[in-house]
Amino acid sequence: MFRLRRLSLAALPVVAALLVAACGSGSSGDEESGSGPTKIKVGVIPIVDVAPIYLGIKQGFFSAENLDVTIETAQGGAAIVPGVVSEQYQFGFSNTVSLLLASSQGLPLKVVSAGNSSTGDKAKDFGGVIVKADSPIKTAADLAGKKVAVNTLKNINTTTVNKVVRDAGGDPSTITYVELAFPDIPAAVAKGDVDAGQVVEPFLTIASSQGDRVVTANFAGTDPNLMVGMYFTSQKYATEHAKTVTAFTTAMAKSLEYASSHLDEARAILSTYTKLDPAVQKSLVLPKWPADVDRNSVQVLSDLATSDGLITNQPNLDTLLP
């Protein structure tokens, strides 16, 4: 359910060409027709990160902007990114590195709202690298030469783990990354199939409750304001439906602000779209939900993606970001 599988780099140019061609005749229905609320579909991943949009719908922020929102869940960016470009969804949520990868390969994307960010607290972030309690791995540097599980290869989790290992004096090029779904990572660590695993909430709390240790917070350790996820649309849709995009951005800003100032309600809304154990839901660490995109941290991720060889040409952030 939480597997965030992304488009392969090899496939992106082909997908880009097909989707750009498909967009030429795409239609989004009755957007801005003046005949009632504008109907939009938003593709999201059913994870903690997107709590604000559910909360914002409940609070009426979208209906106040004359938007009738349908949330559609997907396994990850591999479905959401092309779905947005082809206007299957008018808007979507994806992690920042996935958007950088897609944009660098020519997919015409436009970020319209912040999504979520690191808490900035290395001792209490919503993502981190776990090991068994008795593991000899004590610091990020100790991950060098080890087998580390991540949910997706060559994406935000590998490049941020590389960053914290490098900063700690280790050589990240010696890490062997193993791709596993988030729910499978704590078990793989417990069995010794891998030496460590990068997980996000709720799996971080689940692993900790089973006795695992967090050796490094790869998001907070990369940048205290790390922009982990963002909401986006296609450049074509942004141009042709500027009024709807402005309305969505306004409603999302209200939603992010409300979630940030009503954490109990944000935590409670999780039960409406996830199947979390009540004890885990009560104790997990929530991300931050800033109102604005932190451009500097997006640039950090773009630089890391380049140095790690994920992309060869950095996307134009002036074009991609708001």
pLDDT in tens, 101-120: 999 999 999 999 999 999 99
Give ranges for CATH 3.40.190.10 in the chain. 12-118+225-320, 127-222
Q: Is the per-residue pLDDT at 127 higher than 90?
A: yes
pLDDT of residue 79: 80
- Terminus-to-terminus CA distance in the chain, angstroms? 30
> What CATH number does the domain located at 127-222 have?
3.40.190.10
pLDDT of residue 221: 98
CA distances from 310 to 181, 187, 196, 229 (A): 20, 28, 22, 18
Share of the chain above pLDDT 90, in %: 85
For strands 91-95 and 38-44, give the pairing: parallel
State pTM to two decimals.
Answer: 0.88
- Name the phi and psi angles at 149, rounded to 5: -85, 140
DSSP calls for 181-212: -GGGHHHHHHHTSSSEEEEETTHHHHHHHTT-
Q: Is the per-residue pLDDT at 138 higher than 80?
A: yes
Q: Is the per-residue pLDDT at 192 higher than 60?
A: yes
DSSP calls for 262-313: -HHHHHHHGGGT----HHHHHHSPP-B--SS--HHHHHHHHHHHHHTTS-SS
pLDDT of residue 216: 98
DSSP 8-state symbol, 127: E
Give the integer Cα–Cα distance in Å for 278 and 295: 35
Question: Nearest-CA neighbor of 115 among 84, 93, 137, 90?
Answer: 93
Q: Domain spanning 12-118+225-320: which CATH class is it, in words?
A: alpha beta
Q: Is the per-residue pLDDT at 16 higher than 90?
A: no
Q: What angle do CA 29, 35, 36 make, to 5 degrees?
A: 95
pLDDT of residue 76: 73
pLDDT of residue 17: 42
